[in-house]
């Protein structure tokens, strides 16, 4: 940690953490929209399985969004209502590739955020964010397997 960071007030540190958690919340809200609309758009002989897969993800991302919104309010912030834009995707393949990209980003973001939370001095937040790294890694792996093994 550099001197500049050390000199920052608790209020400044809270503000920075709230900003970053709000970026994550925007990502989770975007993920809910992404999975909900992709579930509707999934097509072909594997539609039932793909739809089921996407809808199961919605539940996980919604819990992540709920956690982040609560934490932001607890830190004295205002949770964003602006979702990260959902990438355009037409085919099953395009949707799965877009999902994989988003999940990999979530893994990277939460890995970084957990470290920041640790430095921020909030162990509970760090642990929760690490749990979310686990969840998003699972989502990414499942998506990779579908792309690899299914004739989507
Ligand atoms: Fe998530
Ligand atoms: Fe996810």
What is the domain-level CATH number for residue 55?
Answer: 1.20.1260.10
Is 4 part of any domain?
no
For residues 92 and 147, what is the distance between their CA atoms, to the nearest angstrom? 9
- Confidence class for position 8, pLDDT limits 50, 70, 90: confident
What separation in Å is there between the alpha carbon of 54 and the centre of ligand 1?
13
Q: Is residue 5 part of a domain?
A: no
Ligand 2 center from residue 16 Cα (angstroms): 24
Structural domain of 39 = 11-78+90-149
Judge whether 3 lies within some domain.
no
Is residue 68 over pLDDT 60? yes
Question: Distance from the CA of 92 to the center of ligand 2, in angstroms?
Answer: 17
pLDDT digit string, tens, across residues 15-36: 999 999 999 999 999 999 999 9
Is the residue at 143 inside a domain? yes
Kindly give the distance from the C-alpha atom of residue 136 to the centroid of ligand 1, in angstroms, as a whole number. Answer: 6
Number of domains in the chain: 1
Do the domain assignments include residue 1?
A: no
Ligand 2 centroid distance, CA of 140 (Å): 7
Cα dihedral 106, 38, 82, 112 in deg (nearest 10): 0
Residue 5 Cα to ligand 2 midpoint, Å, equals: 31
Residue 5 has a pLDDT of 52
């Amino acid at each position: 940690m550099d001197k500049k960071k050390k000199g920052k007030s608790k209020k400044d540190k809270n503000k920075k953490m709230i900003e970053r958690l709000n970026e994550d919340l925007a990502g989770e809200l975007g993920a809910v929209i992404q999975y909900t609309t992709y579930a509707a758009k999934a097509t072909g002989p594997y539609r039932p399985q793909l739809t089921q897969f996407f809808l199961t993800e919605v539940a996980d991302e919604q819990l992540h969004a709920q956690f982040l919104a609560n934490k932001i309010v607890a830190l004295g912030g205002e949770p964003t209502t602006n979702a990260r834009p959902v990438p355009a995707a037409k085919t099953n393949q395009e949707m799965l590739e877009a999902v994989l990209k988003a999940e990999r980003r979530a893994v990277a973001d939460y890995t970084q955020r957990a470290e920041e939370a640790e430095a921020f001095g909030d162990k509970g937040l760090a642990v929760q964010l690490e749990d979310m790294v686990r969840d998003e890694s699972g989502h990414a792996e499942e998506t990779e397997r579908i792309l690899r093994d299914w004739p989507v």
